[in-house]
């Protein structure tokens, strides 16, 4: 079987990713969809997601040349995907995930210099800004919870994908997941920030035991939560033609294993069909939690 090229992880000592040789940017066509469902057990849905296309344009207000009022879009586009799974009493989890998605959305729109070509210092700046986006969402939720005691402790996972051209960044906190499906192989890009994963990493239990562990839902790193501060995990990789990105909540990965997810992505090339089938598989597996899936397929023309 072909081996997946591992995602490049941020070097915390330098704040940079390994750099590659410069080349003319390829054209990237992205098809996508997202779907969320409350599941079969919970009455409300504490998951939220967003898929956005980022584009810049120039509007000609006045000119001596023909073209007053003309708006010209740039060829290059960016894509933003966010999946959040809230937690907290009553409706607090639903509110926390909504606030986090909205906060990051506004940050990207108003602050992130997404259109920069990612070389050297510019890439370092982008990584810093992506981290700031999650940190700002953390402060937003903490501040609101302080003003309303009924919301104390509310928090949310948040997994985000941001791409321009073939550069893909994954920004993550919690136990929602990002997967890369490439050449028939499924790779989990993110680490579960959970108590059980820490036990697995420490050798105390096996991965098989983790799926049945009674405390497998204890998340150790979230946006918001009982105290301020979030540990932001960031990865970068270069997209290839035919790559598929899946971002999902544990409402999918709990009842549907990786092999079944890979089977769905193999059989359903259309992201709309893939999202529907993934949610159907989660529901047929009992639908024990809210389930959300966002699927993006990348066509890279060199």
Question: For position 256, what pLDDT does the model report?
Answer: 97
Confidence tier at 4 by pLDDT (50, 70, 90) = low
Residue 174 lies in a domain: yes
Residue 294 lies in a domain: no
pLDDT in tens, 20-31: 555 567 889 999
Confidence tier at 150 by pLDDT (50, 70, 90) = confident
Question: For position 1, what pLDDT does the model report?
Answer: 43
pLDDT at 12 over 50: yes
Range from 123-127, 252-256, 284-288 carrying the lowest mean pLDDT = 123-127
Residue 17 lies in a domain: no
Question: For position 199, what pLDDT does the model report?
Answer: 86
Question: For position 253, what pLDDT does the model report?
Answer: 97
CB 291 within 8 A of CB 282: yes
Question: For position 181, what pLDDT does the model report?
Answer: 98
pTM of the model: 0.88
- Token duo for residue 58: 């120039």
* Higher-pLDDT residue of 67, 84: 84
Question: For position 74, what pLDDT does the model report?
Answer: 77
| CA distance linking residue 245 with residue 32, whole number of Å | 9
Q: Domain containing 116 — which CATH number?
A: 3.60.40.10
pLDDT in tens, 161-188: 999 889 999 999 999 999 999 999 999 9
- Mean of the per-residue pLDDT values of the chain: 89
Residue 266 lies in a domain: no
* Higher-pLDDT residue of 266, 126: 266
Mean pLDDT of 114-143: 83
Residue 56 lies in a domain: no
Q: Range of 114's domain?
A: 74-186+222-239
Of 175, 202, 280, 241, nearest in space to 28 by CA: 241
Residue 105 lies in a domain: yes
pLDDT at 60 over 50: yes
Residue 112 lies in a domain: yes
| CA distance linking residue 233 with residue 189, whole number of Å | 10
| CA distance linking residue 13 with residue 122, whole number of Å | 17
Question: For position 118, what pLDDT does the model report?
Answer: 59
CB 168 within 8 A of CB 130: no
Question: For position 111, what pLDDT does the model report?
Answer: 85
Those residues whose C-beta lies under 8 Å from the C-beta of residue 204, and which sit 6 or more positions away, are: none
Question: For position 180, what pLDDT does the model report?
Answer: 98
**Number of domains within the chain:** 1
Residue 139 lies in a domain: yes
Task: Tell me the angle at which helices 92-110 and 121-147 cross, rounded to the nearest 10 degrees.
Answer: 150
């Amino acid at each position: 079987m072909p081996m997946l090229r591992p995602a490049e992880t941020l070097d915390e000592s330098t704040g940079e990713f390994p750099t590659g040789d410069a080349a003319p940017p390829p054209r990237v066509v992205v098809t996508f969809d997202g779907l969320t469902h409350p599941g079969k057990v919970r009455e409300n849905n504490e998951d939220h997601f967003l898929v956005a296309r980022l584009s810049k344009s120039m509007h000609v207000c006045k000119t001596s040349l023909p073209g007053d009022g003309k708006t010209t879009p740039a060829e290059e586009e960016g894509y933003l995907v966010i999946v959040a799974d809230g937690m907290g009493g009553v409706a607090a989890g639903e509110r926390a995930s909504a606030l986090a998605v909205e906060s990051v959305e506004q940050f990207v729109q108003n602050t992130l210099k997404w259109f920069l070509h990612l070389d050297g210092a510019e890439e370092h700046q982008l990584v810093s800004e992506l981290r700031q986006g999650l940190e700002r969402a953390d402060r937003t939720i903490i501040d609101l919870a302080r003003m309303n005691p009924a919301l104390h402790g509310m928090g949310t996972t948040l997994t985000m994908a941001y791409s321009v051209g073939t550069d893909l960044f994954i920004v993550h906190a919690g136990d929602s997941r990002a997967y890369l499906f490439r050449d028939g192989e499924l790779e989990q890009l993110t680490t579960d920030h959970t108590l059980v994963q820490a036990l697995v990493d420490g050798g105390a239990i096996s991965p098989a035991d983790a799926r049945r562990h009674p405390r497998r839902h204890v998340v150790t790193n979230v946006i918001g939560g009982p105290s301020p501060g979030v540990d932001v995990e960031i990865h970068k990789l270069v997209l290839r033609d035919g790559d598929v990105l899946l971002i999902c909540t544990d409402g999918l990965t709990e009842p549907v294993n990786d092999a079944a997810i890979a089977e769905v992505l193999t059989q359903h090339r259309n992201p709309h069909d893939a999202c529907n089938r993934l949610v159907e598989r989660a529901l047929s597996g009992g639908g024990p939690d809210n389930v959300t899936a966002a699927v993006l397929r990348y066509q890279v023309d060199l």
